[in-house]
Structure 1
Amino acid sequence: MTAYDALAEVYEWLISDAKLAPAEFAASFDDALRLLPPGAHVLDCSCGTGQLAVGLAGLGMQVVATDASEAMVRRTAKLSEEFGAAVRTLRAGWEELPGHFDDSTFDMVFCVGNSLHHAAGAKGRVAALESMARLLRPGGHLVLTSRTWELVRARGSRLDIGDRLVRRNGRAAVVVYRWEIAPTWAEEHHIEIAIAQVDAAGPVLVRSELLSCWPYRYEELEAELRRVGLRTELSTFDPEAENYTVVASKV
């Protein structure tokens, strides 16, 4: 899985304004959260900088936050401390999760932030989903968000430069995505993400990272969820929309 170590310190520029505050990020999943009992055990297994995990803890849930990036885990722990949130943090890739937790430990597992495409191909993706499914109790739910890769591939290789400045912590930056779209779905694709921070005095500080990804069609994801024992209960997939959410239950 891609590490995001270079972008961890500036990741807030990649989070939308609506999801920057932990409570608002958690509220964006209200439909799924209604399925949970009070004090539910929840795993955020692609926690990034921790906004969702901290928001869930603020709702009284028992939250564990993991990520393949040590830098992201550190930022999540720092945010948890700032908010006084009881979040257990752990550096672990998807394939490592069953080594840290017993089967059927969690009521809900979150895999959000368009992270699943970093699993290496169909084999890696199924292995990741299988790990998540193992940790769910029977009747528990996986909440997953994804890019609509059908749209991404249709647009081809390109450079996307933000058309406005993004402001965070009193600073402004331009976000740039460079897409390398491989000839076939099964091949490794790349996204280079650059954050160009603009200083009022003139200097520009650029941080970037080249990320590997393996795209998938929506119907492939549906089939893989069924393969690991998960049944889709809610899907916002729209072939014309940029992103979608899937909520699947463990059969």
Structure 2
Amino acid sequence: MSSYNVLAEVYEWLISDAKLAPAEFAASFDDVLSLLPSNAHVLDCSCGAGQLAVGLAGLGMHVVATDASEAMVRRTAELSEEFGASVRTVRADWEELPDHFDDATFDMVFCVGNSLHHAEGARGRVAALESMSRLLRRGGRLVLTSRTWELVRARGSRLDISDRLVRRNGRDAVVVYRWDIAPNWEDEHHIEIAIAQVDPAGSVLARSELLSSWPYRYDQLEAELHRVGLQTEMSTFNLEAENYMVVASKV
């Protein structure tokens, strides 16, 4: 988990401009949020630096934010304090969630930010989805976003270098992704993320982290959702799109 703790220090350069402001991040889910009852109880179980959790709390929801990284949870708590938002934060990975919350606690669970591929293989992924499903009330919904791994694997191992500087808090950086695509779907893949921060004097401070990844096909994800008692209501999956969203309800 140390890699994810270090990643928290450069996370601000990895999220898009549109998701930096909590209110705007939450607004990107307006369609699914309209399905919630008033005073809904919501879990963001891959909270990252907290932009979505804080945005949801700003809408008057009862929000819990969890992450496997202690550093990410700390960042979320700091952002909550900055915005005066009421967000309960808990360090927990997906499989630990039932240790912290009763079954059928939440009206909606968010697992966004392309995080599910960090679950270790099919067994780890199903265990993570099972935990999320357990915490949903009957009729509650899981909102999940994912990379289109069919597209990622088709491109093969490669180096992706951003074509512009990313500016955060008056600092500029170049973001680099190195994709190490394994021969088989079920094999462990690797993504190395490097941030090259450029200061006004021209000096460069570089940080990089190597993360493990276990990709999955869309039809495999659909089958696994069904296996844990979730039925797909809506999907934006498109083989030519970089990312997609799935909304699945607790049967």
* TM-score relative to the length of structure 2: 0.99
Residue equivalent to 2:92: 92
Match of 1:35 in 2: 35
- CA drift of 1:3 comes to 5.0
The root-mean-square deviation of aligned C-alpha atoms, in Å, is: 0.9
| Matching residue of 2:193 | 193
Change (3 A) 1:143 1:3: farther
Secondary structure of the equivalent of 1:46? Answer: coil
CA contact (8 A) 1:2 1:118 kept: no
Distance (whole Å) between structure 2 residues aligned to residue 18 and residue 245 of structure 1: 17
1:175 positional shift: 0.3
What residue is the counterpart of 1:235 in the other structure? 235
Q: CA deviation at 1:208?
A: 1.3
Give 3-state SS (helix, strand or coil) of 1:240's partner: coil
Tell me if structure 2 keeps the 8 A contact 1:108–1:140: yes
CA–CA separation in structure 2 for the residues paired with 1:2 and 1:103: 30
Partner Cα separation in structure 2 for residue 112 and residue 221 of structure 1: 14
- For residues 207 and 2 of structure 1, the distance between their equivalents in structure 2, rounded to whole angstroms, comes to 14
Counterpart residue number, 2:6: 6
- The whole-number CA distance in structure 1 between the counterparts of 2:31 and 2:207 is 36
Q: Which residue of 1 aligns with 2:68?
A: 68
Query: Is 2:176 the partner of 1:176?
Result: yes
Equivalent residues of 2:41, 2:63 under 8 A apart: yes
What CA deviation, in whole Å up to 9, does each residue of 1:104-163 have, x standing for no partner? 000000000000000000000000000000000000000000000000000000000000
Q: Contact 2:45–2:66 (CA<8 Å) still a contact in 1?
A: yes
The reply on whether 1:204 has 2:204 as its aligned counterpart is yes
Partners of 1:112 and 1:196 lie apart in 2 by: 25
Number of aligned positions between the proteins: 251
Task: Tell me if the contact between 2:3 and 2:209 (Cα under 8 Å) persists in the aligned partners.
Answer: no
Q: Is the 8 A contact 2:162 2:174 kept in 1?
A: yes
**Alpha-carbon deviation of 1:234?**
0.7
One-letter identity of the residue aligned with 1:50: G
Shift in Å, 1:201? 0.7
Q: Equivalent residue for 2:127? A: 127
Moved over 3 A (4+): none
Is 1:244 matched up with 2:248? no
CA distance in structure 2 between the partners assigned to 1:50 and 1:184 by the alignment: 34
Letter paired with 1:142? L
Of stretches 84-93 and 6-15 in structure 1, the one that deviates more from structure 2 is: 6-15
Structure 2: which 5+ runs fail to align? none
Write out aligned runs for 1:92-171 (5 A). 92-171=92-171
C-alpha deviations, 1:39-69, integer Å up to 9, x for none? 1000000000000000000000000000000
| CA shift for structure 1 position 2 | 8.0
Q: Is the 8 A contact 1:7 1:207 kept in 2?
A: no
